[in-house]
Structure 1
């Protein structure tokens, strides 16, 4: 029995290590109970003026996570999209050449009930918590938020990653719902796949157009 438990433990450790070393899906989760304290509010106020609808501050936590604080920077109540209470954000890291590159991708749900919106009052700050990686490459990390075909970036923080996280997979069709993959799958050009999974502006619109054209050809 102890031998079997040991094998299972080693297997789970290998899975965890692989997740740390390779590019993986972002797994942030919105904290509906969060209330911003006066220190965080002051930090946003001291960050200077901005015309952006959303402002982001990223901070490492003691519990091994990274908190991403998102503020509604408008005078109106606005909405932020979520999928199973994961906000559309990704981590990026600075590579050895000083360029920002994604170390996570976005994976689409195949359930219509997964999608919703979070209402944010004027100047309100919400929190979502994301994975904090480890590795032997010390670099800068930032978060990219996608909403309404616009992107917003957080401040950068110091972090460590495995360099393999900067290596792109050869194909991202595995990130899509099975129904889509069965219909077009790997036929989708890689550059269009990357626009979708890396939350680029208009990426989903371009993909939807491609999908409709592909389906019309089949019919």
Structure 2
């Protein structure tokens, strides 16, 4: 399992071919639509479209969009193969504005390995989860091994300073970008500090 290393491409402009891929006669209730495509530079491009009639913003941390890769295991179950690493620097956080029907691009790592599978991307924005299409990929099976502890990652390391370990289920919610994961962690931290634990 690896930390996600996607990076927003500020120079990207969608061409007509890509725009056609986003066109659909199906009603789309969600704010964002994601399309993942492998490209010739050895990366995977994840295109994110604003499906609303308003200009909206998407959050970033050091120009990384809040996305992770997931892969199907041997039983066909989607599992994360990346985790999110937080930052404790206030200057790391910002927003990228997307016009109505506008499309942005972020590029992510393409993994290699002996296990042929399907890959998709998960976006968490405003405590809502969005998934991309699935694409063919190869990984090493050790990417699917779940660590027994994520407390070495900020912001979970703060807990070491107050001698109270963050429960593993809460760690997973934070590092796997589950809805309300950070809110639950912040409440846990406040309670721990208040109780002096």
TM range (shorter): over 0.9
Deviations 1:34-56 (A, max 9, x none): 00000000110047331110000
- Give runs of aligned pairs for residues 23-102 of structure 1, distance below 5 A: 23-46=1-24, 48-102=26-80
Counterpart of 2:120?
142
Matched, 1:206 2:179: no
**2:36–2:46 Cα contact (<8 Å) kept:** yes
**2:151–2:157 Cα contact (<8 Å) kept:** no
- Give runs of aligned pairs for residues 135-174 of structure 1, distance below 5 A: 135-174=113-152
Write the distance in 2 (CA, Å) between the matches of 1:185 and 1:35: 49
Matched, 1:215 2:189: no
Write the distance in 2 (CA, Å) between the matches of 1:44 and 1:213: 44
Write the distance in 1 (CA, Å) between the matches of 2:127 and 2:43: 27
* Structure with greater Cα Rg: 1
Segments of structure 2 that go 5 or more residues without pairing to the other structure are none
Indicate the RMSD between aligned Cα atoms, in angstroms: 1.5
Write the distance in 2 (CA, Å) between the matches of 1:216 and 1:115: 27
Aligned positions, number: 197
TM-score by structure 2 length?
0.96
After superposition, the Cα gap between the structure-2 partners of 1:174 and 1:121, relative to the gap in structure 1 and judged at 3 Å, is same
* Per-residue deviation, 1:174: 1.1
**2:156–2:171 Cα contact (<8 Å) kept:** no
* Per-residue deviation, 1:184: 4.6
By percentage of residues, which structure has more helix? 1
Write the distance in 2 (CA, Å) between the matches of 1:149 and 1:186: 26
Write the distance in 2 (CA, Å) between the matches of 1:186 and 1:91: 30
After superposition, the Cα gap between the structure-2 partners of 1:179 and 1:191, relative to the gap in structure 1 and judged at 3 Å, is closer
TM-score by structure 1 length?
0.87
User: After TM superposition, which residue ranges in structure 1, 4 or more long, deviate above 4 angstroms?
Assistant: none
**1:171–1:186 Cα contact (<8 Å) kept:** no
